[in-house]
A and B are shown apart, each in its own frame.
Chain A
């Protein structure tokens, strides 16, 4: 019952990863007692479970996920939201208004218009129904300021880092608030435009180099260098 890869090896779709008593984890599949990769990524085995951390993937909705989406359409009793997934999501008017929705009295486009960005949570989703969103929790709702950034959704865990080490470091160094949508959309809100740009630059760098080692240290260094450069300019 061998495995056919080294830890963190870059594998391509269809590559044979293990044979025999192994379980197919993320981005892998099992056929005829053999485990193969189904996406390009880094292979790893964890207690008989073979996983591939994908380098390229798209977001698939999961109940409970916090996502950031764009309003694409204002409907009769709700909005259609683009959440960068294969399916567009629905947000019902009664969710946002937190009272009975009256079609005669309420003008939906005054609450949320097409093009508006929202932070929302996936309330329900399965293969036969499009995801439904909810904003009835603190921290959710319309985004009024900040900047938006899109990364491959599989890299969100890398942006968070081990036990949130990466994200808390960026927040601390740049003095920005950062909301990570599980769908790969990131909202950065800072006190100034420069702070936001700095945080966005760091995140872009993480996305590009997510599969390399020693990343947190390099990003810390990068942020410190950029900050000192800025100080010099000011003086």
Chain B
């Protein structure tokens, strides 16, 4: 390991980008950014830049994929070739296929799938720039895009990761921390129903550390949830304020 990675946390307890252990990266959320999609959202989570477009509910193509009793959710997580330092092949990698599945399964509990049988929705996630924690940022944005498409939801899904870096449990890992650090725990959460829809762990954690990490991630989710709600409201509030002045 080189000198830089040895000091992931300095003497004052600050991280590489000057954050405290339980501090989130700056987040910007925007809803309804794409004209051609039924619903869309854009997120900037630290250096991550992710665009999500949602289509549907519509008839499934090919038809044999439709289910007679429920709506099918299809999800494609894709990283742009220019999203990382070394060019990434645009073909779906093993990792992208897995993330697509994981994201789909974390969104599924929030959607009333049994209301619209024989239909499907498509969620397209494009990672324009990646810097660790893209699955979490993708889930947060995808849930917003689904809400923007007018699809009924039990709750918005919001995701955030926690992990262990140099014996400290920290919130919202960035790329270097994720790669050099000891563990990464992404959590997706429905704040109003108090339900976890995704819980993964990569690395090694003691049971106590794992608990701290999960609690920390859930707290992070709650903070992001407020921004998520605000983003959804902003789209309509600006019009209202302009007119009623």
Contacts and interface: CB of A to CB of B under 8 A. Distances in A.
Q: Closest 8 interchain pairs by CB?
A: A14-B155, A56-B150, A13-B153, A38-B152, A57-B150, A86-B57, A86-B119, A14-B192
Contact of A209 (B153, B229, B243): B243
B156 A56 contact: no
A12 B152 contact: no
A54 B156 CA distance: 16
Interface string B101-130: 000000000101000111100000000000
A14 B59 contact: no
Interface range, B side = 35 or more
B62 to A, nearest CB: 15
B39 interface: yes
A124 interface: no
B64 interface: no
Contacts of B190: 14
A13 B228 CA distance: 11
B119 A14 contact: no
Contacts of A57: 150
A163 B239 CA distance: 25
B147 interface: yes
A214 to B, nearest CB: 8
Contacts, number: 91
A54 B150 contact: yes
B91 interface: no
A214 B240 CA distance: 11
Given A29-B154, A36-B192, A38-B153, A12 B244 contact: no
A58 B239 CA distance: 21
A16 B118 contact: no
Interface in A50-108: 54-58, 60, 86-88
A14 B153 contact: yes
A interface secondary structure, majority: loop
A218 interface: yes
Nearest to A130: B118
B56 A86 contact: yes
B152 A88 contact: no
A15 interface: yes
Contacts of B119: 86-87
Contacts of B147: 12-13, 39-40, 56
19 contacts: A12-B229, A29-B152, A31-B154, A39-B147, A39-B152, A39-B153, A40-B147, A40-B148, A40-B232, A56-B39, A86-B56, A86-B116, A127-B117, A128-B68, A128-B117, A154-B150, A209-B240, A212-B244, A213-B244
A21 interface: no
Nearest to A213: B244
A14 B59 CA distance: 26
A58 B150 contact: yes
Contacts of B156: 12-14
Most buried by B among A40, A60, A214: A40
Interface range, A side = 20 to 34
Contacts of B193: 14, 31
A60 to B, nearest CB: 8
Interface string A195-235: 00000000000001101111000100000000000000000
Contacts of B110: 14
Contacts of A39: 147, 150, 152-153
Contacts of A12: 147, 156, 229, 232-233
B64 to A, nearest CB: 16
B152 A13 contact: yes
Given A12-B232, A212-B244, A87 B191 contact: no
B152 A27 contact: yes
Given A31-B154, A40-B233, A88-B59, 15 more contacts: A10-B236, A13-B152, A13-B155, A13-B156, A14-B154, A27-B152, A38-B154, A39-B153, A55-B236, A56-B39, A56-B148, A87-B119, A152-B150, A214-B244, A218-B243
Contacts of B216: none
Contacts of B154: 13-14, 29, 31, 36, 38
